[in-house]
Structure formats: C-alpha cells, structure tokens
Amino acid sequence: MAEFKIESEKPITMSEVADRLSKVEKRDKELSFRANKTKEYLAHFVTKEKESKLRKKLENLNLARLKDRQIVKIIDLKPEDMDSLKIILSNEAITLKEEDLKKILDAINE
C-alpha cells in the first residue's frame, strides 16, 4: 500500500472541495462513484463567488480570535441565529463577545 505524507494542512470550504473535484473530473474525464456523489451533495451549498464574498466580509470584521478554521466552518454551515453560531463555535477554544457574534451574523445575513 502506498504511503502518503501530509506536507501541510489547510481548512477548505465545501465550495473549494467542489471546485477541486471539478478539476479532477476535467483531468480524469470522470469521477469515481464516491467523488460523484460528493460533488452532487456539494452542489446544494454556497457557490464559490458567494463563499469568497462571505470570507472577505468575515475577515474584514478583524476579529483576532476568529481563525481560518472557524471562518470555514461558519461559511459551510451558515448559521441563521445566535444559538446556531454558538453551537458551531462551541467545540473551538474560542470565546467571542456577544457583539462580535452579532457582527458575524450580520455579515452572513447581508
């Protein structure tokens, strides 16, 4: 069995995964069964353009404690209320003020 070495680790959004699957499909002419099902599933989420706009909005909030991993989770799950946002961030070692959470929700809902 081939051995793989992880050279770097970077969180990516679902739209970025869909984009990479499209590149693989162009290169290989078709996707495997699982990759095809994944691509179909990802088609129901945020487009690349909307994702990049939302990422810029969240990064422009200048919340120092909000890391790339949390931004990706927020973009993928697009919480609609304060409780949902708190649940998404509850597993992270991050505490944000109520006003910062409201800024994030406002950026999502624009």
Dihedral sign, CA of 109, 66, 10, 84? negative
pLDDT above 90 covers a percentage of the chain that reads 35
pLDDT digits (tens, 9 = 90+) for 9-29: 888 888 889 889 999 999 999
Q: Which of these, 38, 5, 44, 6, lies nearest to 20 by C-alpha position? A: 38
pTM of the model: 0.76
Average pLDDT over residues 100-108: 92
Every domain of the chain and the residues it spans: 13-45, 48-109
Asked if residues 31 and 24 have their Cβ atoms less than 8 Å apart, the reply is yes
> Which comes out higher in pLDDT, residue 37 or 66?
37
